[in-house]
Amino acid sequence: MTHLRKMMLDELQRRNYAHTTAEAYIRALRNFTAYYRVPPDRLGPKQIREYQLYLLQKKKLSPKTVRQHMAAIKFFFEHTLKRYFHWEQIPYPKIPKRLPTVLSMDEVRQLIDAAGNLFHRAILMTLYSTGMRRAELMHLRLDDIDSQRKVIRIHQGKGSKDRDVPLSPMLLETLREYWLWKKPQTVLFPSNYQIRKGQCISGKGIFEICRACAQRAGIKKKIGPHTLRHYLPFLTMSCHATPTSFLQGSA
């Protein structure tokens, strides 16, 4: 990592930016630097405007992604270099408003039934039943499952906030069955890759599970982890299995 990127990372950490946001900002700065092949502190508003058009017209990135790139570049110049521009001269692209993709109850059942194994099924059911975000699911640990209070504790979610989400009896039963089969040690959903042994599953891995299960289910809609946040709560139905401990009791 170059000295300038290290300075930017330090500033991000001082402001307690989320790890995923910090990674995205550093990656955006690296791409900006690579495009001009000069250190970013030698660039200015003219180059930023040109780069913005390049991202929109040549790279065909979505307005939302371009806005994130511009936010990263603005952070670098303002907080790392202490250089202030008239940012109104570099307008952020307008994001079109679209209705979210919503699955029907039958489509959700088809998606979950298309899971290739219990690992995939537990991930899909957790996303759907709780409405948690992909990054939040990645970092779930065994001790975040509170079966006594029927909640799952999410640490430092969006906005660096902790919160509890409901743990339905149906999801609890599935997670117990999954634990007996997979035997995770610390993180609830560890990576299956040897090189990441002991670490949590990646965000890309979760996305690929959603995409592959949708294909097997024959669902034509574009589906990702975030799609399952727009849900119909059939997973809150009651279930006969109500043991009082996540790791103990019948599954």
Residues 83 and 96: their CA atoms lie apart, in Å, by 31
Residue 201's SS3 state is: coil
Question: How confident is the model over 30-61, as pLDDT tens digits?
Answer: 999 999 999 999 999 999 999 999 999 999 99
94 phi/psi in degrees, rounded to 5: -70, 135
Question: How confident is the model over 58-112, as pLDDT tens digits?
Answer: 999 999 999 999 999 999 999 999 998 888 878 888 887 877 788 888 888 999 9
3-state secondary structure labels for all residues of 77-95: HHHHCCCCCCHHHCCCCCC
Q: Hey, which bits of the chain come out as E strands?
A: 145-146, 151-154, 163-166
Question: What's the mean pLDDT in 131-150?
Answer: 91
pLDDT given for residue 194 in this prediction: 59
Question: What's the mean pLDDT in 9-16?
Answer: 91
Residue 67's SS3 state is: helix
Does this model's pTM top 0.85? My answer is: no
All domains of the chain in start order, with CATH: 3-89 (1.10.150.130), 105-236 (1.10.443.10)
Question: What's the mean pLDDT in 237-242?
Answer: 36
Question: How confident is the model over 200-212, as pLDDT tens digits?
Answer: 999 899 999 999 9
Question: What's the mean pLDDT in 159-165?
Answer: 83
CB 157 within 8 A of CB 20: no
What are the DSSP calls for 9-47, one per residue? HHHHHHTT--HHHHHHHHHHHHHHHHHHTS-GGG--HHH
